[in-house]
Structure 1
C-alpha cells in the first residue's frame, strides 16, 4: 500500500461502517484496567466484534457519551455490523390526554389534576362570558304591553264613570300613592330580602329547584326585581333564553334603579285578575276604591292575587261565588298577615284585629254597554278633534278624563225615552213600530257643556250615536234660524242685486205679515217667478209650496206662522232673505256647515229644515237664543290629567252670534209657540210644566222624522225620533234601507214633533229642571219694520178725514149711542173706526189676522168658519183647541193622537 494513500477522516468512520466498507481500525485506546466497565477510560477495549455489539446494546436508548460512546462507535464500525438508532425522549405535552405511559382504560381516565384544572378553567370561562354579557347588556325600553294603560272617565261630579281605552285595564300611580301596608305585605310575602338583595336570590332559586325536585309545589324563586323585569321588559315565555336575560337584566336593574322605583313598577304592572293590571285597577275591581284608600286587610288580600288570581278570587269567571277559591284566599290572607308579623312590619295586636275583607262581585272593567259607549266615543272624538290628545295617546291610555255628563240627568234622559217607548212602541204588535229610534241631547246655555244625551238603544245593539250625527232632517225646528236671519240681516231689496249688504236690506219685525196658502207659488226675492228643475223630467217648473195637511190660513204674522208652523210664509221669507244668508245665521247659532247641505236661490226648501245637524248641535243652537245671542261651542270634557303629571283644563269661550234684541225676539216668538193655545208646543203648558219655556216642533216630508227642541233660560234640550234599521240584516223583504215613514207608528196617524218627541222632552225637563229657578226670559224690544210680503196685501192707509176733521167726529158722536140700543151688540165699544164703512161688515174675522180676536169658540160648540189653527175652510164643529175635528193643526184629540202639532 502506498504511503501516499489517503486516510478517511475520523468523522466519517461511522458512515463507512454502515456502508460495509473496510476501514482501517482506529488507533487503539490507551490501556485500561481489565475489570473496568467497557468504554470507560482506564478499562480495556472490547476484544471482539460481539463484545462491541453487546456493549452497544447495553447502551440502550441512552445516548453514548464521552469516550465510551466513541469506543462503541469505533468498535461497531470496526466490526462492520448495523446498530439500532436510539429513540429520542419526546417533548412533554401541555394536555396529557390521552395519558402517556398508561395502557388500556387508564390511558383514557383523566387524572385528578386534569379534572380540577378543567373545572377551574370552565368556571373562569363562564365568569368571563357572564361578565362580558353583563357589560353588553343594556336596559331596554319597556315593552308595549307594560306601557299601555286604561283611560278613566269621570262624571261631572268627579265620581268614576267607566274605565275604557287601551288594550289593558291599568292606571299607573306613583310610589307615594301606594299604601304602606301594601308595600309591607308584598315584601313580606314575596321577597323578604328585597331591600337588601342585588336583584336575584341564588338561595331562593336553589330552594325552589330543591322543592320542585322533591315533588312540592312549583316555585319560581324569583325576586320582586325579577318579576318587575319580566313584566316591564320581557315576555311571559317559559324559555331558558328568556330566563337568562331575566337574570342579567335583574342584576342590571337592581344596580341602576332605586328599590322604590322597582317596587312601584312591579305593583303597577302585575296582573291581579278581573282584567285589572296594576294596583289602582285592582283596587277598583275588587273593592271599588282608589289604591290610596286601601286598608291593611284589603292590601293583604290583593297580595294573594299576585300568586295566581284564578286561585284566590272568591268569584269565578261566571260571576258566581267559588267556595274553594274563598277558602284558599282566606288561608293565603292569614299567611300574608303572619309573614308581616314575622318580618317585623306589623304588630301582633294589629294583626289580631284584622278581618278578611269583603270582596265586591266582579263587573266588567271596560264596560261600554248602554249609553256609556256613546259617552266615551263622544269624549274621544272631542279630545282628538280639539287637538288635546292624539289617537296614539288614547290607545296607550293612562288618561284621567273628567267629563261634563251629569249622572242624574243621564238617568233621567234614558228613563224618559224608555217610558215613552214602553207606553207607545210595540214592534210585536205593529210593523210600523219596527226600527223606531230616538236621539236626544241637553246643553247648558251660555256655557256649552253637554250634560246628558240619549244615543240610542245602546252598545252593542246600536253603535251609531243618535245624539251626535244621525243624518235625520230637522224639519220645522229650522224655522227659528230663518226668523233670526230676517231680523238680523233682513230681506233683500227687490230692486237690488242678489248679493246685498246688511245696510241695503230691510230688517223685519216678527209682526210682519206673509200669506200662508197651500200650494202658494214661491217667487224670487225680486218678485219674479221661481223656476226649479224637476227631479224626474229635468224640466224647469214653478215651485208651489204645500202647507201641512193642505191648510190655507191666509195672512199670518211671522209670529203666528211660527206658532202653527205654517210652511209657505217661511219658504217665501227664506227666498227673500236668501238661503245662503240663512245658512250663515244658522252657522253663527252653532250648526256645522257640512250638516246644512246646499243653500242657494235654487233651493227654496232650505228654510224647511232639510239640514241634518243632530240633537247636540240643535240643542246648542237653541241655547244661543236662550243665552241672549251668545254662542258657546258644545264640549264634553272639563279636565284631562296625563300620565306624566301634566293636565288640560277646558275654558268656555262665547262669541256674539246675534244682537241681544234679535235673540230675545226669537225667544219671545218661541215662548208663544208654547204658551199660545194655537201653538204647536202648547202641550207643555197643558201638562203643567212649571218653568218658562220656549221651543219649536218639527216634522219632515213623508213623516220620516219628528222633533221637538225647547229650552228654559238654564237648559236647552233637543229630542228627535225616526225609523231606520240599525243593521241592514234586520230588514225584511218589504222594508227598504234608509229612513222610513212613521205613518201609523205607535198607532197614530202620523208622528209629529208635538207627539212623542215632546213627551220625551217633557219627561226629562220636568226632572232635570226641578231645582232650577223659574226664570223669565228677557223682555223682547221692538225690532225691525213691519211689512206685508209674500203675497199679503197691506191694509189701506187711514183716510185723511180722521186727522184733518176732528170736529166732524164730535158732531157724529151722538149717533153712536143709538146703534148699541138697536142691535144690543157690545162691539160698538170699540174705537170709532166705524165711521169708515166696512166693505164687508158681515164677513167673519179671518183667522190669525193681526189683532183679530174672533177665532171661534174654544169650547168647540160654535159652528163658525174656523175649526182651529190652520183650517179656515172646514165648517166643522171644532173651532178651538178643545174641539174634536181631525186635523194636524186642529184640536189635540184628533187623528187617534193627543198631539196635534207639527
Structure 2
C-alpha cells in the first residue's frame, strides 16, 4: 500500500527548480524479525496490545465499541490491535475514517490473524510505522533518535520509540512547533516522559522487565539532534520545515498525507537570496567574532534573518542558523529575542493614525476628540523622564513605583530644561523617553492594534499594559518583523508572509496561494513613517544600511542588558529583518538564558 511504499515529497525553489526531495521512503530501511530487540516487541505489546501473542488479530470488545460509534455517526477509530494497525499501514491504500474502510480493515485483519505468523505481523508493523523525524520503520527511527542500529537499543530506548508511536508530533521530545505551536519541546518532553515511564511500568507488570532493571531508568534516554539527513544541512532544513508547516496550517493537506508523499511543493524561496543572506552572516562572523581572543563575549552568538517581498508577502529568504543539522531552532522564526526599538515605528504609526488623547476627557476617546500627531510633533528626549498617563498623572506600577524612562547610554536629547525634540529626531537618535510617553498619550491599546494591523501576531506582543511596551519588549519573529515593515513599504497595504505558492499531486494542482492585501494604515500615515525611517538610515543609528543610489528606510533596535540587537530595513522591492543575540546552543541544558552582548565582536 501507499504507506508501505511512501514516496518523497519534492520541494522547489521559487524558480520551480528542485530544492530537495524528502519525506517518504528515503528514510526507511526494513529489518527482519530477528533484528528487532525483544524489548521493543514487548514495549509495543505492553503499550498497545497485551494479548497480541494469543489473539486472532482483532479485539472483539474494541470492534464492538468501534461499530457502536459508527452506528451513532461518531468516530470510527478504536479497537485497533497491532495486526489491525499493520493492515492499515501496509495493506490498505485508503486511509480515510469511513465505515466501509473500517469493515475492510476488520475483514483483512481477521484473515491476516488466521494465516500470517505473529513474527511477520510484528515485523511488518514495526517496519511500516511512522516514528517522526521523517523516519519510517524501526531501523530509521533508531538511527534518527539514537544514532544507532535497532539491534543495539536498550529497554529504555525501546520504550521511548513505543511512546512515539502514539503520535510523533506530540511525543518527540524535540518538539514540532512548525506543525502545531502547542507541540513545544517542553510540552512534548512532558508527554513523552509520562508515556515512556508508564510503558516501562507496564512491561514490569506484564513480566517482560524486572523491577530491578526498571529502576535503572530514571530519565529519558539521550537523544541526538532531530536532523539526520545531510540533504537538510545548511539552510535547506529550515526552509523545508517552514514550507511543510505552512502547508499543514494553511491547506486541507494533513501531516499524514504529507507523510504518504508524492506532493510537489513550490516555495517562495529565492535560491540566490538565501545564499546571499547566509553569505552576509558568515562574513560578519568571520570579520568580527573571535572566540579564541574573546571567549567570554564572542561565544554562543546567534543570528536570524528573513526577507519578504512587500508586493505580496512572499518570503524570499531566511537565515535560520549555522545549519539545520547542527542548530535545530529556526532563528528566523520566534526565538524569544525582544525586538527593542524596531518597535517604535508602530507607535509613530498609531499616533499619526489615531492621534493622542485629550487630557481633559475620559480614557476611551473617539477619533474626533483626539489630536493628530505628525513627525514634527514635539516630545521630551530627557533621560530618566518621569512617564505620565495621557491625563498628566504620574504612571506607577502595581507596587506604587514611578516609571523613569532611560535612554541608551543614559543620554538626554534636546536642549535643557525641557529637552524638546520632534518625533523625526527622536526616531533618528532612537530616544526611548519620547516614544514611551507618546505611547501613553495615544494609548497602548492603539499601539498594539497598529502592530497587529502591520502584521505582527497578537501572541507575540507581550507587556501590553506597561509603558515599555512601546520600546519593544515583545518578541515577534524576524519573518513577521520583515513582513510588518513591508506594510510601510507598500504605503499601508498589509500582506501576510507566506512560503508556499502552490502544491501539486500526481501532476495536478491541489492548492494555490492567493494574496489578499488589507489596508493597515492610510497611505499618508505609512508614507510618513517611511519618510521618518529614511532619516534613520541617512543620518541616524542605521547609517550602515545605506545603499549607493538607493533610498533605504529602516530602524535599529537594542534591548535592556544588550541581550538582543535588530535591524529591520526596506526598499520598495524588499523588506529584511535581522536579529542577533547570544544563547547557548546546547538544547539539553534546562536553562538557556539570553546572554549580554557587551564587548561582543570587540
- Counterpart in the other structure of 2:377: 512
1:376 counterpart = 2:240: yes
- Counterpart in the other structure of 1:610: 473
* Aligned with 1:425 (options 289, 295, 320): 289
Q: How does 1:222-241 map to 2 (within 5 A)?
A: none
- Counterpart in the other structure of 2:443: 578
Q: How does 1:26-425 map to 2 (within 5 A)?
A: 142=1, 144-146=3-5, 148-168=6-26, 367-425=231-289
- Counterpart in the other structure of 1:658: 521
Matches of 1:417 and 1:144 in 2, distance apart? 41
Offset of 1:168 from its aligned partner? 3.5
Matches of 1:522 and 1:669 in 2, distance apart? 24
1:714 counterpart = 2:573: yes
Offset of 1:446 from its aligned partner? 2.2
Offset of 1:505 from its aligned partner? 1.4
Asked whether the equivalents of residues 502 and 509 of structure 2 are also in contact (C-alpha less than 8 Å), the reply is no
1:684 counterpart = 2:545: yes
* Aligned with 2:332 (options 461, 467, 476): 467
1:66-109 Cα offsets, whole Å, 9 max, x none, are xxxxxxxxxxxxxxxxxxxxxxxxxxxxxxxxxxxxxxxxxxxx
Offset of 1:549 from its aligned partner? 0.9
1:639 counterpart = 2:498: no
- CA 1:169 to 1:730, structure 2 compared with 1: closer, same or farther past 3 Å? closer
- Counterpart in the other structure of 2:553: 694
1:543-591 Cα offsets, whole Å, 9 max, x none, are 0111111111221100000000001000000000111110000000000
Tell me the SS of whatever aligns to 1:409. helix
Query: What's the TM-score, normalizing by structure 2?
Result: 0.65
Structure 2: where are the runs of 5+ without partners?
Answer: 29-88, 93-110, 117-133, 137-227, 414-418
Q: What is the RMSD of the two structures over their aligned residues, measured on CA atoms?
A: 2.6
Offset of 1:428 from its aligned partner? 2.5
Matches of 1:442 and 1:646 in 2, distance apart? 27
- CA 1:626 to 1:159, structure 2 compared with 1: closer, same or farther past 3 Å? same
Matches of 1:232 and 1:522 in 2, distance apart? 67
Matches of 2:474 and 2:234 in 1, distance apart? 28
1:567 counterpart = 2:432: yes
Asked whether the equivalents of residues 483 and 497 of structure 2 are also in contact (C-alpha less than 8 Å), the reply is yes
Asked whether the equivalents of residues 251 and 511 of structure 2 are also in contact (C-alpha less than 8 Å), the reply is no
Offset of 1:365 from its aligned partner? 7.8
Tell me the SS of whatever aligns to 2:535. helix
* Aligned with 2:400 (options 540, 559, 573): 540
Tell me the SS of whatever aligns to 2:266. strand
Matches of 1:630 and 1:718 in 2, distance apart? 18
Tell me the SS of whatever aligns to 1:540. coil
Tell me the SS of whatever aligns to 1:441. strand
* Aligned with 2:601 (options 712, 730, 746): 746
Answer 1 or 2: higher relative contact order, Cα 8 Å, separation at least 6.
Answer: 2
Asked whether the equivalents of residues 164 and 366 of structure 1 are also in contact (C-alpha less than 8 Å), the reply is no
Q: Which runs of 4+ in 1 moved over 4 A?
A: 231-234, 728-731
Asked whether the equivalents of residues 169 and 366 of structure 1 are also in contact (C-alpha less than 8 Å), the reply is no
* Aligned with 1:489 (options 344, 354, 358): 354
Asked whether the equivalents of residues 306 and 319 of structure 2 are also in contact (C-alpha less than 8 Å), the reply is yes
- Counterpart in the other structure of 2:76: none
1:231-250 Cα offsets, whole Å, 9 max, x none, are 9859xxxxxx99xx99xxxx
1:723-745 Cα offsets, whole Å, 9 max, x none, are 011215579xxxx7210000111
Offset of 1:468 from its aligned partner? 1.0
Give the aligned length.
Answer: 410
Asked whether the equivalents of residues 167 and 395 of structure 1 are also in contact (C-alpha less than 8 Å), the reply is no
Matches of 1:504 and 1:419 in 2, distance apart? 52
1:622 counterpart = 2:482: no
Matches of 1:508 and 1:616 in 2, distance apart? 29
Tell me the SS of whatever aligns to 2:20. strand
Matches of 1:365 and 1:614 in 2, distance apart? 26
Matches of 1:587 and 1:530 in 2, distance apart? 25
Matches of 1:684 and 1:439 in 2, distance apart? 17
Matches of 1:233 and 1:525 in 2, distance apart? 69
Matches of 1:589 and 1:532 in 2, distance apart? 29
Offset of 1:691 from its aligned partner? 1.4
